C-alpha cells in the first residue's frame, strides 16, 4: 500500500454556485491541518431472541474540520465567513489533485468557525463543515 504524507492531502474550497473542478488556486492558503469524518447512523434492529444487538446502516453523513492561519485579507476565508452568516453552501474537496488523486468531494454548510488567538502564537481559524448531500469518493 502506497503511503501519502498528510501535507499532500489539502483542503480546497469554492464559494461559487456553479459547477466546480478543484484547482491549486482553491487551496486554503495557510492550512495547518484537515480531517474528514464519514459516518452512517446505525439503526438497531435487535429483538428479544438474543442478548446481542444487531444493526442496519441508516442515513449517511460527513463532517470536515480545517485549521488555517487567520488572514483578514484572504478572500477565500472571507467567503467562508460570509457563507456561515448567510447559511449558503460551499464546495469542498479534501485530498490530492491530479492523475491518481484521491479524496472526498461534497457540498457543505459551514457549521462554525473557531478563532484561536494565543499569546505568542499565530492567530488561527478552525472551520467546521457539515456535508449536505452525497460525498463523492475518488
pLDDT in tens, the chain (138 residues): 567 788 889 999 999 888 899 999 999 999 999 999 999 999 999 999 999 999 999 999 999 999 999 999 999 999 999 999 999 999 999 999 987 779 999 999 999 999 999 999 999 999 999 999 999 998
Q: pLDDT (tens digit, 9 = 90+) per residue, 81-121?
A: 999 999 999 999 999 998 777 999 999 999 999 999 999 99
The count of structural domains within the chain is 1
Question: 13 lies in a domain?
Answer: no
How many Å separate Cα 105 from the centre of its chain? 9
Q: Which CATH number does the domain housing residue 125 bear? A: 2.30.110.20
Host domain of residue 38: 30-45+53-137
By C-alpha distance, which of 66, 65, 62 is closest to 39? 62
Question: 81 lies in a domain?
Answer: yes
Instruction: Give the global pTM.
Output: 0.89
- Alpha-carbon distance of 58 to 56, in angstroms, equals 6
Question: 129 lies in a domain?
Answer: yes
Question: 1 lies in a domain?
Answer: no
Amino acid at each position: 500500500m502506497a503511503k501519502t504524507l498528510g501535507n499532500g492531502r489539502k483542503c480546497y474550497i469554492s464559494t461559487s454556485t456553479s459547477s466546480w473542478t478543484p484547482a491549486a488556486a482553491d487551496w486554503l492558503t495557510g492550512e495547518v491541518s484537515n480531517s474528514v469524518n464519514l459516518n452512517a447512523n446505525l439503526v438497531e434492529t435487535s429483538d428479544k431472541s438474543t442478548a446481542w444487538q444487531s444493526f442496519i446502516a441508516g442515513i449517511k453523513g460527513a463532517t470536515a474540520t480545517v485549521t488555517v492561519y487567520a488572514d483578514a485579507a484572504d478572500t477565500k476565508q472571507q467567503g467562508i465567513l460570509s457563507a456561515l452568516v448567510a447559511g449558503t453552501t460551499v464546495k469542498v474537496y479534501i485530498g490530492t489533485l491530479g492523475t491518481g488523486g484521491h479524496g472526498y468531494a461534497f457540498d457543505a454548510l459551514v457549521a462554525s468557525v473557531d478563532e484561536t488567538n494565543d499569546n505568542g502564537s499565530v492567530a488561527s481559524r478552525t472551520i467546521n463543515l457539515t456535508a449536505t448531500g452525497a460525498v463523492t469518493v475518488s
